[in-house]
């Protein structure tokens, strides 16, 4: 059986990764803005590398993906080699807290689909806990790392459950970053929001936050026109 997830321009193996390819990754990879002069991208908690690959499809920048889970990094590397952008994709097993203290490079775009269930019941799977729980990375850790690694005019894009967005936003504000764009995600028409897409930049120049919203499925459980428009460059079903 083929266990790959197929996109229009690449495919991803994700059986060894902490997290499988899902809607969160699809949303973030398609929604994140790429600065016009983007030369370097960092993907924090890259897993199988899917978001890095999605970004690679839209830019000529060099892309680095980091994760503390060795099998995920191994699989991300395999996915990179099988893609059209192998020469621009670099994956490292690294703790982002350590990297932020050692790395002198600044990144024009940082993206992350981070761990977030800090108060929920842990899974029996240690690798899944690494990806879905803040057992190793807190909002404060993330904010400090991003503030150290983001270029002066860079952007940081992240996806979180709706209830966790304010905590990370506050931590980032304390580290000198402001909310530039916010997209409220609804899984289905008539259902409450379950995810938030957030984009931050430096506070050097005060900017009003742009508010957006996106509904994934309509009342008939079909993908909405907005979701299809956002992801059509990647989804093979559109």
Q: pLDDT, tens digit, for every residue of 157-186?
A: 999 999 888 999 999 999 999 999 999 999
Q: Report yes or no: 218 and 230 within 8 Å, Cβ to Cβ.
A: no
47 — alpha (psi -120 to 50), left (phi > 0) or beta?
left
pLDDT value at residue 114: 87
Per-residue pLDDT of the chain (238 residues; tens, 9 = 90+): 567 899 999 999 999 987 779 999 999 999 999 999 999 999 999 999 999 999 999 999 999 999 999 999 999 999 999 999 999 999 999 999 999 999 999 999 999 998 654 333 344 454 444 444 345 688 999 999 999 999 999 999 999 999 888 999 999 999 999 999 999 999 999 999 999 999 999 988 788 999 999 999 999 999 999 999 999 999 998 8
pLDDT value at residue 119: 38
CATH class of the structural domain 4-231: alpha beta
Q: Say what the pTM is.
A: 0.91
Torsion sign across C-alpha atoms 8, 10, 16, 20? negative
**To the nearest 10°, the Cα dihedral for 128, 132, 137, 138?**
-160
How do strand 177-188 and strand 210-217 relate by DSSP bridges? parallel
């Amino acid at each position: 059986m083929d266990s790959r997830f197929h996109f229009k321009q690449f495919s991803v193996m994700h059986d060894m990764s902490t997290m499988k390819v899902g809607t969160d990754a699809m949303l973030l990879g398609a929604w994140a803005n790429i600065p016009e002069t983007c030369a370097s991208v960092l993907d924090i908690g890259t897993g199988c590398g899917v978001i890095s690959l999605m970004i690679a499809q839209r830019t000529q920048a060099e892309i680095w993906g980091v994760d503390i889970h060795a099998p995920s990094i191994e699989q991300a590397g395999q996915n990179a080699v099988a893609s059209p952008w192998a020469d621009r994709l670099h994956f490292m097993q690294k703790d982002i807290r350590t990297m932020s203290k050692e790395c002198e490079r600044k990144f024009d775009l940082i993206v992350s689909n981070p761990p977030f269930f800090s108060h929920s019941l842990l899974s029996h799977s240690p690798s899944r806990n690494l990806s879905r729980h803040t057992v190793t990375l807190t909002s404060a850790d993330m904010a400090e790392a991003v503030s150290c690694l983001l270029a002066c005019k860079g952007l940081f894009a992240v996806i979180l459950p709706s209830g966790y967005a304010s905590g990370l936003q506050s931590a980032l504000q304390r580290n000198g970053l402001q909310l530039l764009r916010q997209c409220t995600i609804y899984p289905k028409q008539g259902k409450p929001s379950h995810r938030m897409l957030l984009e931050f930049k430096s506070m050097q120049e005060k900017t009003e936050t742009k508010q957006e919203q996106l509904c994934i499925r309509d009342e008939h459980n079909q993908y909405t026109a907005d979701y299809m428009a956002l992801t059509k460059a990647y989804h093979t079903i559109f």
